[in-house]
Structure 1
Amino acid sequence: MPEHRAAVLGSPIAHSLSPALHCAAYEALGLRDWHYGAFELDEDAFGAWFSELGPQWSGLSLTMPLKRVVMPLLSEVTPLAEAVGAVNTVTWTADRRTVGTNTDVYGLVQALRSVGVSAPLESACIVGAGATASSAVAALAELGCRNVTVLARSAERAGQPLEVAEKLSVQARVGTLDEHAVVMSAQAVVVTLPGPAAGEWAKGLHVSGRPDGPMLDVSYHPWPTRAAQLWTSAGAASVGGFEMLLHQAAEQVRLMTGLQAPVDEMRVAGEKVLASR
């Protein structure tokens, strides 16, 4: 049988759990001719590397800074990935056309569902305004939410998630990071700040009483984060970014191989790697 190759690309890439997750899936599915690697590539190096890929390639997982860079190089981009402005998965059709999709949104939806979030949501809050915040807007829209508050350091920083909200008919408002009452009253909270920034934000987070909804903090190591600890101590549910990462990878496996991903086996492999760090 011909060899199938797939890989995760980005910079930095050494910390990625994707190889462990995908390789565990291949083993569980008996896909002995599938191989998954990792390549450290930045924006400048990616184009030439991508153009030289041969017919053995079946899928790519993309991290920053390549999620936007790849888009003009593809034959097709799905409407969801176009709306979010980010592709994290590339697959090939039978006639070798390249298709860009976004499974981050799927991962976010599954993570939120794991802590009881279901449609329709009346209100949600996103802390942070970077690329993950844009995917969070799309995930919340998929869960029926039509009113989102994006908390950012400044209104200027929130342009991308506001743009996504407009495309998806979501009413969005920008607030400041110190609007703790908004966080407490939201039916779902998604913290998208990177680790150090999230820690600083959580230091000032005033939790009085029980929050109205669960929290998804996209950080996953170390876990629990300070914000998640505050949330669970106050009696509300919280979930970390590993759940999002696991399910977005599972959807990638399905798209790349055509087979349903073995989520349980992938979870064990990912948790084993995290426990060793």
Structure 2
Amino acid sequence: MLTEPVADEGVLNAAVLGSPIGHSLSPVLHRAAYDALGLTQWRYAAHEVDEEAFLPFVAGLDETWRGLSLTMPLKEVAFEVAADVSPMALATGAVNTLVRRATGEWDAHNTDVHGIVAALAGPAAAASVPTSATVLGSGATARSAVAALARLGVRQVRLAVRAEARPATLRTAADLGVEVEQVPLAHWAEATGAGDTPALVVSTLPTGAGSAAAEVLAGRRLHGTLLDVVYADWPTPLARAAAAAGLDVVSGLDMLVHQAGEQVRLMTGRDAPLEAMFAAAHEAVA
């Protein structure tokens, strides 16, 4: 049974772990939330931790630690320290949040799914969600994208990949009742957003691969929505190409803030001050 965070007593610590970690905006977002909520006893740091160092790092944390945000490459090894795992973390095979119980045990969550759903909530409310969608990539974030799309009502997903889709992503789709069609990344835009059916696309590609995906859009006219999970150096080449092709483009910054907001809620037990977090995020990337 997943538990609520322990009661506030004295200085409380949280952090983001990963490698590389220098680019992370998590400290900016969480500290902005603490300031807005008046949680003056909370501290949030960033630590460079790879897979080999992860277990010793967690084992060395004292009783003041309340939560950990996890980025690559720790989203799978985190299962090894979890006493309980949320259904969404199980479905995606990826953990990006650890919340400590009063007993010292850790509960594992995936807030990336929440972040994607929330980022697409505006476009989804403005137009009916299609029953099919396209996901670019097939890694851990792609698994979260498939889960988010399933939550929105999508039942068919085209996975656009350079080679074969990763088995874990196919398992996630199957477990969630989502039918998968694999297509080459070079042909991802074909039959996407054509005719009367709007496109719903989530790109989980890094900037370099996203640039290649952008080239596919040259000379095309589409309608619908594309979420690019990248937020640095915005707009990305893919975002620019998608907008030029007629798609409504959602920045990965929206996903990032919403998933961090859910982490704040899980760790502190308080609703996240999203307005303050968005303001801090936009200032950080300006």
TM-score, normalised to structure 1's length?
0.94
Q: What residue identity is the alignment partner of 2:137?
A: G
Instruction: Give the conservation status (yes or no) of the 8 Å contact 1:148–1:170.
Output: yes
After TM superposition, give the deviation of residue 120 of structure 1 in Å: 4.8
Asked whether 1:62 is paired with 2:74, we answer no
Aligned to 1:184: 193
For residue 137 of structure 1, give the secondary structure of its aligned residue in structure 2: helix
Instruction: Give the conservation status (yes or no) of the 8 Å contact 1:121–1:143.
Output: no
1:200-226 CA-to-partner distances (Å, cap 9, x unmatched) read 2212333522x2320001111111122
For residue 148 of structure 1, give the secondary structure of its aligned residue in structure 2: strand
Aligned counterpart in structure 2 of residue 205 of structure 1, from 208, 217, 222: 217
Q: Where do residues 135-150 of structure 1 align in structure 2 (5 Å cutoff)?
A: 135-150=144-159
1:101-160 CA-to-partner distances (Å, cap 9, x unmatched) read 0000000111111333677531100011111111100000000110111010122x3322
Instruction: Give the conservation status (yes or no) of the 8 Å contact 1:150–1:158.
Output: no
Instruction: Give the conservation status (yes or no) of the 8 Å contact 1:10–1:63.
Output: yes
Q: What residue identity is the alignment partner of 2:166?
A: A
Q: Where do residues 213-224 of structure 1 align in structure 2 (5 Å cutoff)?
A: 213-224=224-235
Asked whether 1:134 is paired with 2:136, we answer no
Count of equivalent residues:
273
Instruction: Give the conservation status (yes or no) of the 8 Å contact 1:178–1:205.
Output: no
For residue 14 of structure 2, give the secondary structure of its aligned residue in structure 1: strand
After TM superposition, give the deviation of residue 60 of structure 1 in Å: 0.3
Aligned to 1:71: 79
Q: Which whole-Å CA distance do the structure 1 matches of 2:219 and 2:102 have between them?
A: 53
Q: What residue identity is the alignment partner of 1:98?
A: W
After TM superposition, give the deviation of residue 79 of structure 1 in Å: 1.5
Aligned to 1:51: 59
Q: Where do residues 61-210 of structure 1 align in structure 2 (5 Å cutoff)?
A: 61-116=69-124, 120-155=129-164, 157-179=165-187, 180-185=189-194, 187-209=199-221
Asked whether 1:42 is paired with 2:50, we answer yes
Instruction: Give the conservation status (yes or no) of the 8 Å contact 1:6–1:60.
Output: yes
For residue 76 of structure 2, give the secondary structure of its aligned residue in structure 1: helix
Q: What residue identity is the alignment partner of 1:149?
A: R
What RMSD in Å do the two structures reach over aligned CA positions?
Answer: 1.5
Q: Which whole-Å CA distance do the structure 2 matches of 1:134 and 1:96 have between them?
A: 29
CA, structure 1 residues 252+207, in 2 after alignment: closer, same or farther (shift >3 Å)? Answer: farther
For residue 35 of structure 1, give the secondary structure of its aligned residue in structure 2: strand
TM-score, normalised to structure 2's length?
0.91
* Gap runs ≥5 in structure 2: 1-8
Q: Where do residues 226-265 of structure 1 align in structure 2 (5 Å cutoff)?
A: 226-265=237-276
Q: Which whole-Å CA distance do the structure 2 matches of 1:208 and 1:66 have between them?
A: 38
For residue 20 of structure 1, give the secondary structure of its aligned residue in structure 2: helix
For residue 86 of structure 1, give the secondary structure of its aligned residue in structure 2: coil
For residue 43 of structure 2, give the secondary structure of its aligned residue in structure 1: strand
Q: What residue identity is the alignment partner of 2:141?
A: T
Q: What residue identity is the alignment partner of 1:152?
A: V
Q: Which whole-Å CA distance do the structure 1 matches of 2:277 and 2:246 have between them?
A: 29
Aligned to 2:5: none
- Which stretch of the first structure deviates more once superposed, 66-75 or 185-194? 185-194
For residue 197 of structure 1, give the secondary structure of its aligned residue in structure 2: helix
